[in-house]
Amino acid sequence: MAKKLIAGVAGLLVPLLALTGCGATATPSSEPSTAEQVSGTVKVLTNRTDLVQDGTFDKYAAEFKKLYPDVTVSFEGITDYAGQVAIRLNTKDYGDVLAIPSSVKESQLSTFFEPLGAQADLEKTFRFTAEHAADGQVYGLATGGNANGVVYNKKVFAAAGITTLPKTPEEFLTDLQLIKDKTDAIPLYTNYKDGWPLSQWFGNLGSASGSADANTLLSDDDAPWTQGKDMYAIDSLLFDAVNKKLTEDDPLTTNWEKSKNLIGTGKVATMVLGSWAISQMQAAAKTAGGSADDIGYMAFPVTAADGKQYAVDGGDYAFAVNVNSSVKPAAKAFVNWFVTKSGYAADQGMISADRSVALPSNLKDLTDNNVELLELAQNPTRDELINESQIDLTGNTYRQKLVDIARGAAKGDMASYFTELNTKWAKARVAIG
């Protein structure tokens, strides 16, 4: 399943709890100084039902107990995590530690969660703190993070004679054409039918501008689909690839699960996905008779005005402490330990939220090619504009229409569609002031 990095804009929570004075300043550390200070039973809510069922989380709990012998940790895996937890937030019964659901807005963080420390302090140690911060306080620490870019099959690239990774849309399209001409692989697989994989393209917002303020640039712009801007770079590349017939023949028949085997065995060359997908493609490659070593990861093929390539990164689900918990010291200790010492991020092939930890080996292509990670500043106005304009940037509907236009299944062309999108966006900006 797709990770939270670019999760769709969720609806409002059901009526919220009365706002309490729970936003008091906490110390800059989310971990008590000694194990003797904490005790009790900590219940953790998680979306990772697979890791609950296979005993992986129990192993983490056992390791934690070696350091904190008076603390017992239990896990509750929830399949419809966002939906069920949104309901439970209207009670006090939502565990002691939980992954923050995407429906919680910045203004609601202090209602539900205990502050873990001042952002000015924690951001020195942890990545992605801005994603769950309000009024200078951090309320959640990411369990890991992901970069955005393109998963590719190295063996297919070699067979096509491609020796250097593309740094511009033009180079990428040239490479896709080489793959089409010299191999039997599908150059770029859109996963159009399942829909949600198309939302992954939006994760590359900021790669063209090279700006950490890409969300603000987007929110302040009446015409984001204009040449030289992030949205134009992202969506024009998808349009051109489809229009030049460098994607699957019939997008209506794509299949997400099968696509893993296709890229793993060299029947597909590239897919635009977050780095969370690398481990899944590698596992599929081994299962299907290919090699995990064939799977590589490149930056989105654009170069910013400063001459650098950027891979936008962001946090996966973040762990927070229930403001109503009766075991807050133990809960905070577990959150800090899980993020910094459990090895969870490394086990999942994710970027550690701990800044002292090196990037995972599956991002070696990025480091070898001097690609810089870019963490975007948050801007809540962006999501207001998405709702008001009804352009689902974090979804797939408008981008499916873009594919349809590019392949001749819908009226219009790229210029007319981009004009339509710019018009809707500009009207939304007026509407929300």
What's the pLDDT band for 37 if we cut at 50, 70, 90? confident
- Mean pLDDT over residues 145-166, rounded? 97
pLDDT band at 333 (very low <50, low <70, confident <90, very high): very high
Inter-CA distances, 86 with 11, 80, 104, 230, 356, Å = 10, 10, 8, 33, 33
Burial environment of residue 238 by CB neighbours within 10 A (0 to 12, 13 to 18, 19 or more): buried
User: Could you tell me the two tokens for 90?
Assistant: 């209207």
Q: pTM of this prediction?
A: 0.83
- CA dist 143 and 146 (Å) reads 11
Distances (CA, A) of 353 to 2, 99, 315: 19, 14, 8
Domains and CATH numbers, the chain: 4-144+316-357 (3.40.190.10), 147-312+378-431 (3.40.190.10)
Q: What is the pLDDT of residues 99-110, one digit of tens each?
A: 999 889 889 999
Q: Which amino acid would we find at residue 312?
A: V
Give the pLDDT score at 34: 58
Considering the chain, what percentage of its residues have pLDDT values greater than 70?
Answer: 92
Query: Residue 9: which pLDDT band, with cuts at 50, 70 and 90?
Result: very low
**Does the pLDDT value for residue 98 go beyond 60?**
yes
Taking all residues of the chain, what is their mean pLDDT, rounded to a whole number?
91
| CA separation for the pair 346, 352 (Å, rounded) | 7
Is the confidence at residue 31, as pLDDT, over 80?
no
Q: Per residue in 272-312, pLDDT tens?
A: 999 999 989 999 999 888 899 999 999 999 999 999 999 99
Q: What is the distance between the alpha carbons of residues 266 and 284, in angstroms, rounded to a whole number?
A: 11
